[in-house]
Amino acid sequence: MEFRHLGRSGLEISEIAYGNWLTHGSQVEEDAALACVRAALDCGITTFDTADVYAETRAESVLGRALKGERREGLEIFTKVYWPTGPGRNDRGLSRKHIMESIDGSLSRLGTDYVDLYQAHRFDYATPLEETMSAFADVVRSGKALYIGVSEWNAEQIRAGAELARELRVPLISNQPQYSMLWRVIEAEVVPTSEELGLGQIVWSPIAQGVLTGKYLPGQPPPAGSRATDDKGGQDFVSRMLTDDVLTRVQQLRPLADEAGLSLAQLAVAWVLQNPNVSAAIIGASRPEQVHENVKAAGVTLDEGLLTKIDVILDPVVSRDPALTLSPTTRP
């Protein structure tokens, strides 16, 4: 495993992080989830990402149980706040009330006294940004979080948040966006702004919800048991990419992966890690062998010729428009 600083902070994280958006407490049984976390630890992953909303808070609890007994100082545990976690009007968003109550709930479920990174899961248009950042600053000063980050904020929002963070003397160090060979909407604006301000990207869906593994074939129905057939979540994200044009071009990547000595999934994860503003790529898994497979992308350098060939194949189907940054009404 290789390690990188998260943005310009002193925090070092594993360049491949383990996330449990669609797995723990939802798509896989707890024994399988625990086995996947054990595989991640065995492979040298020290960075674990979750959110209070995943599986209606169950994902945090499963992760907490999976990491119980591990040396806390050797782990980096990240979680998020924004989406509804209860039926009340204030059980959502980035108000001071919801943030202060949510951090306590997350810590209890995770079985820890603090998280290394507490992230705003979306931008909250209904709450003054000053209120949100002040609450995050108090969470940090209370010792319940060491750093703060955001997720799916656009460049303008990141800049406004960073300005307030500087005034409040609180370490805003990261953004968590969707990013893959097929989804590059952060490259034009978010990445340059983040580089200027010292934020690193912790990217999710580097294999495009499984599309970049090559398991979905043009002209054929999705394989049984795949994410595209699972009604527990993720269908909307993967279905947008299940066109024959996209799938045909993904298959054309196979010779390039073979040339690099990688599987298609490993090539996809290694590709996002070539971006110097990316601090970590988040992988998920429903089986331990998927973890062992994907971590082989750590430390891989792809040469410029290979990157150019990838661009030539995929360019007609790549999403690049910064306006496609996920809105506060779109859940990952």
Which one is catalytic: 18, 54, 82, 216? 54
- Pairing, β 3-5 against β 12-14: antiparallel
For residues 11 and 147, is the Cβ–Cβ distance under 8 A?
Answer: yes
Q: Which residue has the tokens 């998260």?
A: 6
Contact 266, 298 (CB under 8 A): no
Cβ pair 279, 174 in contact under 8 A? yes
Decide if 216 is catalytic.
Answer: no
Using DSSP, how many helices (H) and how many strands (E) does the chain show?
12, 10
Task: Give CA separation, 280 vs 11, 12, 179, 193, 232, in Å.
Answer: 12, 10, 11, 18, 26
Query: 3: burial class by Cβ within 10 Å (0-12, 13-18, 19+)?
Result: middle
Q: Which residues are catalytic, by number?
A: 54
